[in-house]
Amino acid sequence: MSKMENNNCATCPAHNLANLTKLGVDMTNFDYVVALAGNPNTGKSTVFNNMTGLRQHTGNWPGKTVGRAEGGFIYADKRFKIVDLPGTYSLLSTSTDEEIARDFILFGQPDVTVIVVDATRLERNLNLVLQVLEITERAVVCLNLMDEAKRHKIQIDYRTLSKSLGVPVVPTSARQGDGIKELLNSIYQVSIGEYKCKPHRISNEIKNVSNAVEKLNRIISEKFPQLPNTRWIALRLLEGDQKIIDAVRSGEIGSLSRSDEMVVK
Amino acid sequence: MMNVINRSKNELIISEASKLRWEIGENLHDSIIESIYMDAEKISGKVVSFIGEKPKFDFDRIVDKIVTSKWTGFPIMFLILAFVFWLTIVGSNYPSRLLASFFVDTIHPILKDYANIIGLPLFIGGVLIDGAYISMAWVVSVMLPPMAIFFPMFTLLEDFGYLPRVAFNMDNLYRRVGAHGKQALTMSMGFGCNAAGVIATRIIDSPRERLIAIITNNFSLCNGRWPTQILIATIFIGSLVPPVFGGLISAAAVVAIALLGIFLSLVVSWGLSKTVLKGEASAFSLELPPYRPPRILQTLYTSLIDRTIFVLGRAVVFAIPAGMVIWLVSNINVNEISLAEHFIKWFDLYALIIGLNGVIVLAYVIAIPANEIVIPTILMLTILTLGISDVGAGSGILFELDNAADVASILHAGGWTTLTGINLMLFSLLHNPCSTTIFTIYKETGSIKWTLISTILPILMGLTVCFFLTQIWRISSGI
């Protein structure tokens, strides 16, 4: 047994999957927080169950998950806490379920946000992906329902998709458990910083808007230097988003931390 | 001091933002959304391709054309509902009898004997064995079989993707009464559990429409009330016709009550949106997800764990103290007759006017914590106050469809008529939500006023409906 062999094993995803321990609701002393976002009815809860070994109720209809469900797992010696968010089409409107999702990604500061995407409806699902990528630096796209896509004769070049989005893209069929180990590996690599995300940013900005965003961005990052997504906050302020205005006014937005108390109900 | 400086700096950001917003104009929101859509289109155009031609036969579309059609949508919905109830009623008859005879006829005497041997005082033995144990035994034998059949079938429909189609069919009706179309979804959710249905209203954006959805969710028959409906329909409606049609007619009666619930939720939504919660219905888009073959084994497992065991567990937990209370009120005598009889006599004065009886009212008072134990409570009270010496004697008979004469004789002795049965079904649909749901409503609305309205409105409606039905019934039958 040479040392070399051991190293090879440790870097193989299959080796790590053997190390996957489903922790159920045990979330003590976690190293990383993972958020699970996505359009309604893309199989987020099924992915969640696959990772945690929990049996969150799943149902084939949009709007099934309205609160947050939490669970834990150990992968490659790291403890992960995973939060299943309500399915949303966007992060820009004001219904309670969308606010829960948005507030968690923004204030809960997850280490990785996994965006679960319906492979058969990629274009519409990308709208949410792009919005999430505006908020957070570290994300993984889970291209779910690949079995459905195959049935509908849809082919997706996920490598090019990954390049365009600047984050890992993992094809899965969560109902069959296919692709989960690759997904776990991507989550792990993004968490420990081995994979550096360069998230896509919305192009086509109007001249005076980007000037205004830059100006506001400068003041905000001066006041809250630790904030990773000041550009997005600037945009929301320019749009007059009351929730964000309140968060800036109370200074709440500056005290972003990893702790759960920060999660706005 | 530091705080003040911080504050002013935060205000500076906000005032700077509003100044800049003025310069940009109002189109920012639209142009952001536009660029998101453009990017999404560009990226997906680059990576998505079709292998060969799209299949000509589109299963989903053909099924959708049928189940959401203007003409066949509703009939199919009713047929599916009726089929599910029919299977539940026919299928749970035999196992219920088996469980009852096991728990009541076999185990109960053994427990009694054992209590005698160890010399347990009569009073303690009565509270524990004749009270707590019997009520628990009845909860299990009355509720477990229908739940073990009904929930997996409902979960299979959910897994297959039928629920959004129900919502699609109902959407138009809800919009017309000034409520949100998504209320159709939260209503369907309420068929499982009203507390879950109330939480599900979070998918409705407008607070006005959300309140309407919360107040009317109670009109969806929930887990706890299905067994009541199915049982009473089997005993009273099913026994009116020859045994061959018994199951079918009882299923039809339950469907009728469920439909009445949907109808009333529409009426009340209309009433609310025309009076205290005025406003227009807002538009939304409802996604019809693709049909997916249900995973049978997994569905059986989750529906058994998530629903059947959960609901049964809750019922047992509430049934044990309720059983003790029932035994105590039936066995503590004041002026020669038991407390229960005092209550029942007193309630009878008022309850008979609305076509119920004292037993039912007392059962609802005892069963406030959980709807699930109403029927076992009624059975126990009826038998205990009738003075049948062996508590188990009546239980087996109650579940036998072919023994209509025996059933009739026992309930006749307790003062029950077909009208009482129908009124009980109506009252079970129209009364206050269970304590969990009331608490959930309070948590979701944060308002005592709306919680009270959601609680009291259905009771008033139930009393009114039962009262008028009773008067009409009595006049038309010439009594």
What b/e string do you get for B430-461 counting C-beta neighbours within 10 Å, with b at 16 or more?
A: bbbbbebbbebbbebbeeeebbebbbebbeeb
Which member of B31, B35, B164 has the closest CB to residue A62? B164
Q: Report if residue B358 sits inside a domain.
A: yes
Option in A153, A158, A240 nearest B55 (CB): A153
Q: Domain count of chain B? A: 1
Report the distance separating Cα A140 and Cα A112, nearest Å: 7
> Nearest chain A Cα to B306, which residue?
A57
Which residues of chain B have a CB within 8 Å of the CB of A212?
Answer: 20, 23-24
Looking at the domain assignment, is residue B441 inside a domain? yes
**Least CB-CB distance to A123: which of B17, B35, B41?**
B41
Between A144 and B109, name the one with better pLDDT: A144
Is the CB of residue B219 less than 8 Å from the CB of residue B429?
A: yes
- How far away is chain B from the Cα of A139, in angstroms, using its nearest Cα? 17
Across B99-108, average pLDDT: 83
Whether the predicted pLDDT of B191 surpasses 70: yes
Q: Which residues in chain A are closer than 8 Å to B163, comparing Cβ atoms?
A: 59-61
**pLDDT value at B392 more than 70:** no
Calculate the CA A194 to chain-centre distance.
Answer: 17
pLDDT band for B216, please (50, 70, 90 cuts): very high
Instruction: Report the percentage of chain B scoring pLDDT > 70.
Output: 87
**Higher-confidence position of B155 and B397:** B155
Residue B182 pLDDT greater than 70, yes or no: yes
Q: Could you give the domains of chain A? A: 3-191 (3.40.50.300), 207-262 (no CATH)
C-alpha B88/C-alpha B91 separation (Å) is: 5
Residues of B in contact with A209 (CB under 8 A): 24, 28, 31
A183-192 mean pLDDT: 94
DSSP states along B443-470: HHH--HHHHHHHHHHHHHHHHHHHHHHH
Yes or no: say if A117 and A38 are a contact pair by the CB < 8 Å rule.
Answer: yes
**Domain annotation covers residue B172:** yes
% chain A with pLDDT above 90: 26
In a domain, B52, yes or no: no
Residue A229 contacts by C-beta under 8 Å, 6 or more apart in sequence? A106, A134, A135, A136, A137
Q: Which of B405, B403, B356, B404 is nearest to B381 (CA)?
A: B356
> Does residue B350 have a pLDDT over 80?
yes
In this predicted structure, the answer to whether residue A3 has a pLDDT above a threshold of 60 is no
Does residue B321 fall inside a structural domain? Answer: yes
Judge whether residue B139 has pLDDT over 80.
no
Asked if pLDDT for residue A87 goes beyond 90, the answer is: no
Q: Smallest Cβ distance to B37: which of A92, A127, A237? A: A127
Q: Which residue has the higher pLDDT, B100 or B263?
A: B263
* Chain A interface mutation, best of B47, B169, B189, B298, highest count of A Cβ atoms under 10 Å: B47
pLDDT at A18 exceeding the cut of 70: no
Q: What predicted TM-score, i.e. pTM, was given to this entire model?
A: 0.69
To the nearest whole Å, the CA of B88 is away from the closest chain A CA by 22
- A202 vs B contacts (CB less than 8 Å): 32, 35-36, 39
Which of these ranges, A125-139, B88-102, B253-267, has the smallest mean pLDDT?
B88-102
Q: Is the pLDDT of residue A258 over 80?
A: no
Note the pLDDT of residue A187: 95
Rg (CA), chain B: 27
The Cα B411–Cα A129 span in angstroms is 63
Higher pLDDT, B204 or A26: B204
Give the residue-averaged pLDDT of B36-47.
90
Are B256 and B249 in contact by the 8 Å Cβ rule? The answer is: no
pLDDT higher than threshold 80 for residue A22: no
Q: B231 or A131: which carries more pLDDT confidence?
A: A131
Q: Is residue B95 part of a domain?
A: yes
Q: What is the largest CA-CA distance in chain A?
A: 64
Mean pLDDT within A50-79: 73
- Residue range of the domain that includes B181: 67-476
Weakest-pLDDT range from A55-69, B24-38, B232-246 = A55-69
Helix (H) or strand (E) segment spanning residue B24: helix B2-24
Residue of B nearest to A87 (CA): B203
- The verdict on residue B30 lying in a domain is no
Asked if residue B425 is part of any domain, the answer here is yes
Q: Looking at residue A58, what is its pLDDT?
A: 59
* Contact (CB<8Å) B290/A148: yes
State the ipTM, two decimals.
Answer: 0.80
Report which of A137, A134, A139, A166 is spatially closest to residue A239, judged by C-alpha positions.
A134
